Chains A and B, each alone.
Chain A
């Protein structure tokens, strides 16, 4: 159960929340730094180069969004955003700015620990997209030959469906907002085509999910986007 001792920076202006997070994360062998505002967070990031950032969006002074943007400009470290449900818009914006995941307040510590583990594991993995093969459960993808198999059966995908699957696998584990997916698939001018995105996702699910009604690969994140889940 003991971890590698990764460094985590916790940013929140509520002392009690920081305290609880700090204790639990430390108890799980993470090294924890804390910051109570955005300016401090940015300074600590460049000072200690933590492996992961747990970031509250509602901060006094420099906003969490700004912190997210500044950190992402310099580093690819995973950023997990802590937000209340009402800040839906901020949350999506943070993900668009490059945050990897979000946790809704109020949260349980187990949930935080699980998300932290996932985020750190993906960082540890080899650079993505360079694999020639990908396998997760019944799904097998051969990128060289553009072949997709489910339970040994080859599935024929349209070019858009294949591109969509490739984007998902490349960013597996990370929440992809609709904007990000649209941009990856059709470029910058595709912002108005959200509807067709949902159609393609539905078609892709029909073809690769063992039970399309209860997807295990392509998960819907309500009001935000999708996440490709490769944990079995």
Chain B
């Protein structure tokens, strides 16, 4: 499990509005009245004509800490209190002297202007701080997303970050949906639950579909009067109630389209506290197109990131699909050409030999005739073996290969196969090591004959002309083990299992230079037949170089018959 990066939440804790206003009002009154009290008690006013400037201290400090409302209120309260308590005549709001009028109004204007400047400064500083915070969050987002390699996990990271960052907006949960077949959706990523556990009501599905098709945001609210679009043809229903922060809060679902260009690639489902001031409402988001609102623009950055990831995942899947199709196609073509090549090669030899014999302008001597005839016979046998393998292979694939078993002597079978293939040996030695106590085995003679033929033929085909071949068999309790070993180039350890795959040769092109190609069927057929007999077959490197293929066959039945 990778370490989880926690995103800092977008906005720190905010008090409800009315509390803020009450505090602002209190501070404005207390501050202004405090200054008034000081001036009043020490009789500072007429002595220091410009003493009203002291109020500016309160106004500026409120402007830079509490905001516009507090500072303007403080200016007004100061203005009135100065007039009421300090400017003669006292305790009435009338002023006799013109200069005092002027002084007071200049004070009021100065106070308001100063407070505005201070507020503007404060807001700018706040903006800068927020931008900095947002930039850092975006940086974290990109970092987390790019750390994951699969698009699915990147999406998951983004969804999680949306919940963490926008928690202060009331976002409780975030799910990315992708349309599948008509009307159904697949959960791509979810912040709170496992993707598989999420179920959608039919209303949600209908709305998700609408969002998908129209590319517009849509919400499910507790109260239908809240619905942003009264034209929506769905019944809106109460989803749930919960208490949040000590008061009853409504929950709502917001479904937003994820765009890539003009295309909607998915739907983002936000579960959130329905607080109109905090939601990235549809209206606000749409306004945003014309007047980029900083907050929603920031939110949209997240959406864009999610959209592009979905699109990327989609493209990746499509690419993979195409690659698979291409591979299948190439495979089919190469199998077809391989099989036809394998069938035609012995045919070519046969036809060349036969047409040579038939030539009228040449009188062949006896030796040449026999050689052509032998060649025809040998190649016809080869063709026959190939056809048997092809037929067996298709039977194995259909599951139609049923061994017709009987008790046979393995020793006899081995001798017969070796005898039949002798014309192919061409001077090389094939040793057979067969103990006298070899058990009789319950097997399908023709099929096991084919297995041994294939093994021996492979050994002959893929090894140098003079190298020896060893055939060995022995009994082990209730099974018999048979091994064909050569001193050829062997097979890389990584491929020892795959040589039993059908057309392995075709697919991997392992082919010793200088030796004719095989069909790539032989070992696959061996495996199918041996397994149909309840046995096992495997290949292993031979000590001192070369390859050994081992076959284990169960003896079968309860009897143990020693020859």
Contact = CB atoms under 8 A, between A and B. Distances in A.
B512 A86 contact: no
Nearest to B338: A86
B514 A20 contact: no
A159 interface: no
Contacts of B364: 27
B153 to A, nearest CB: 44
A107 interface: yes
A32 to B, nearest CB: 13
Nearest to B345: A14
Contacts of A85: 340
Interface in A1-56: 1, 13-17, 19-21, 23-24, 27-28, 36-37, 39
Chain B interface helix/strand/loop/mixed: helix
B415 to A, nearest CB: 26
B436 interface: no
B120 to A, nearest CB: 71
Contacts of A16: 346, 349, 352-353, 375, 378-379
Contact of B340 (A14, A19, A27, A86): A86
Interface centre among A21, A58, A84 (most CB of B within 10 A): A84
Interface string A83-101: 0111100000000000000
Interface in A191-209: none
Contact of B344 (A20, A60, A105): A105
A109 interface: yes
B516 interface: yes
B371 A23 contact: yes
Given A14-B345, A37-B514, A21 B352 contact: yes
B349 A86 contact: no
Given A1-B361, A14-B516, A110 B349 contact: no
Interface string A62-100: 000000000000000000000011110000000000000
Contacts, number: 90
Contacts of B341: 58, 84, 86
B514 A36 contact: yes
Contact of B516 (A13, A20, A110): A13
Interface in B355-411: 355-356, 359, 361-362, 364, 368, 371-372, 375, 378-379
Contacts of B378: 16
Contacts of B336: 86
Contacts of A1: 361
B352 A109 contact: yes
A61 interface: yes
Interface centre among B371, B375, B511 (most CB of A within 10 A): B375
Given A27-B362, A84-B340, A17 B514 contact: no
A21 B361 CA distance: 15
A36 B352 CA distance: 17
Contacts of B371: 19, 23
A29 to B, nearest CB: 10
Contacts of B512: 60
A15 B348 CA distance: 11
B356 A37 contact: no
B41 interface: no
Interface centre among A106, A107, A112 (most CB of B within 10 A): A106
A5 to B, nearest CB: 16
Nearest to B352: A20
A86 B337 contact: yes
Given A20-B353, A105-B344, A107-B348, A60 B517 contact: yes
A21 B344 CA distance: 16
B515 A106 contact: no
A108 interface: yes
Contacts of B344: 84, 105-106
Interface string A164-206: 0000000000000000000000000000000000000000000
B513 interface: yes
Contacts of B375: 16, 19-20
A24 B361 contact: no
Contacts of B340: 84-86
B456 interface: no
B350 interface: yes
A106 B351 contact: yes
B368 A109 contact: no
Contacts of A28: 361-362
A14 B345 CA distance: 8
Nearest to B359: A109
24 contacts: A13-B516, A14-B345, A14-B349, A15-B516, A16-B353, A16-B375, A17-B348, A17-B352, A20-B353, A20-B372, A23-B356, A23-B372, A24-B359, A28-B362, A60-B515, A60-B517, A84-B344, A86-B337, A86-B341, A106-B347, A106-B348, A106-B350, A109-B356, A109-B359
Given A36-B514, A106-B344, A106-B348, 6 more contacts: A13-B514, A16-B349, A16-B379, A20-B375, A24-B352, A84-B344
Interface of B: 336-337, 340-341, 344-353, 355-356, 359, 361-362, 364, 368, 371-372, 375, 378-379, 511-517
